Structure 1
């Protein structure tokens, strides 16, 4: 039998066919594999296909041979199992900071880890169209640049913006670049944030990664590393509400028993809980006081209360009064 130009690629194409077109419910017989190879202008001998399958097994591809009338060869395990891929697809869909375009691209790439039949199950889960998504396509390059700067122990410069009511970018500092020492990336309230040390202000600040632009890595060594090392990120993230800072206070909070799940979700399962009568419990927790924290408390109505300290109780009362006055105008 004359050899085709693609004959040397036979083993690679056979692996491609097995990975893309077979799974436990869709095996292919050797004649069917030969037919598939012929689509790539490869004319294999039957015996050589058996030899190639064995070579792929030795290489590490998990190929099984299903017996019986509907039997054949198939890839039985892959880098990602189908439930794992479904979980990853759901995570991409739910991620607010991943744009609509990039979500579809990532899901398409995840599908390549499954057979074409299993990929159809992933496609049925794709409901990205009407999700609220970030608008900044450069977020992926921003994340990469920040990671590189941290690894190289270098400061970065970037422009930072907000949106106007016309949905146009309005640059902070009149468009001047920020000079910041990147310390870590964290995900909070569906957004990606960079924790960075502002040398001019002498403090750690937060920056929304999707609102950063024109990131450049400088040759200047990072600052604020000792300050960052003193932070327990697991504890720190519980104190910050929506990455809005403020003064840290040690609070005594009282909640209705029905809110125990909400409190654990916010402060963690290790939060100390003290029963207060039959219907309430008390929590002692350090929190950075901000309007976002007050808004979180307001969402529970009369089922949540600040007991101490007095100055935070008064600040909360002023916050609520200000909201009421604004609404009555």
Structure 2
């Protein structure tokens, strides 16, 4: 628990220190000293948004009440200054779930701006307000299925079925990302194929590139072409 608190990118350094101290009080003096050494926070990447805990609480309340929320979203300039996206536009969302992925919390819900399911980094939200308007969730929407299509939670416009050719040693990678129910078949003695439903964004192609040819796209053709075009940009 101490390591999880210290490592979390959603919990600020100040709050992490407070929680670590509380956890240490549940152990002996010797164990507390050891835990504090292992949980050193000085070199950890931590957020500066101290309000994130209240934001999460607001969102959880809205999810439970089927209550719409609105918020502003910020990004960073070249000088590392926070600026509001789209000139301070207020997003209105029907919140469905909070999802933890790649060490960040994401709000998943139906965005009225995009008119589709979208996701937002919780630590990038500001001016969050629970509205006095209510909604009915989309029937049959599966949060786990939605997040499994994402690689690092960056998305393109729509998902596609992509067939990958993988070396046998990478079966663990496919299972880690897409679960034991992933559709896989033997290809030859050293390879297998995996059919996955994915949003083919630049992040997805970058994920494939990192395996240095041990994972290749077999279909669809447009994904092969797009990956080739991305590769050309690096030559």
SS at match of 1:302: coil
Measured against aligned partners, the alpha-carbon deviations of 1:73-103 in whole angstroms (never above 9, x if no partner) come to xxxxxxxxxxxxxxx1111122122221111
Matches within 5 A, 1:226-305: 226=138, 229-246=139-156, 247-305=158-216
In 2, the alpha carbon distance for the partners of 1:272 and 1:240 equals 17
Measured against aligned partners, the alpha-carbon deviations of 1:166-202 in whole angstroms (never above 9, x if no partner) come to 1111101201322222111001111110012112432
TM-score, normalising length from structure 1? Answer: 0.68
Q: Equivalent of 2:34, from 121, 125, 128?
A: 121
TM-score, normalising length from structure 2? Answer: 0.93
1:160 aligns with 2:73: yes
In 2, the alpha carbon distance for the partners of 1:108 and 1:251 equals 47
Measured against aligned partners, the alpha-carbon deviations of 1:30-82 in whole angstroms (never above 9, x if no partner) come to xxxxxxxxxxxxxxxxxxxxxxxxxxxxxxxxxxxxxxxxxxxxxxxxxxxxx
Q: Alpha-carbon deviation of 1:274?
A: 1.5
In 2, the alpha carbon distance for the partners of 1:174 and 1:122 equals 45
Unaligned runs of 5+ in 2: none
Aligned-residue CA RMSD (Å) = 1.6
In 2, the alpha carbon distance for the partners of 1:243 and 1:297 equals 15
SS at match of 1:293: helix
SS at match of 2:38: coil
Matches within 5 A, 1:35-114: 88-114=1-27
In 1, the alpha carbon distance for the partners of 2:169 and 2:114 equals 42
In structure 1, the residue matched to 2:229 is 318
Bigger relative CO (Cα 8 Å, ≥ 6 apart):
2
Q: Alpha-carbon deviation of 1:258?
A: 1.9
In structure 2, the residue matched to 1:9 is none
Measured against aligned partners, the alpha-carbon deviations of 1:257-291 in whole angstroms (never above 9, x if no partner) come to 12122222111122232122221111111111111
In structure 2, the residue matched to 1:75 is none
Q: Which moved more, 1:292-301 or 1:307-316?
A: 307-316
From the CA coordinates, give the structure whose radius of gyration is larger.
1
In 2, the alpha carbon distance for the partners of 1:257 and 1:135 equals 42
In structure 1, the residue matched to 2:114 is 201
Q: Alpha-carbon deviation of 1:143?
A: 0.4
Moved over 3 A (4+): 115-118
Which one has a larger percent helix, Structure 1 or Structure 2? 1
In 2, the alpha carbon distance for the partners of 1:235 and 1:96 equals 24
Q: Alpha-carbon deviation of 1:216?
A: 1.1
Q: Alpha-carbon deviation of 1:123?
A: 1.7
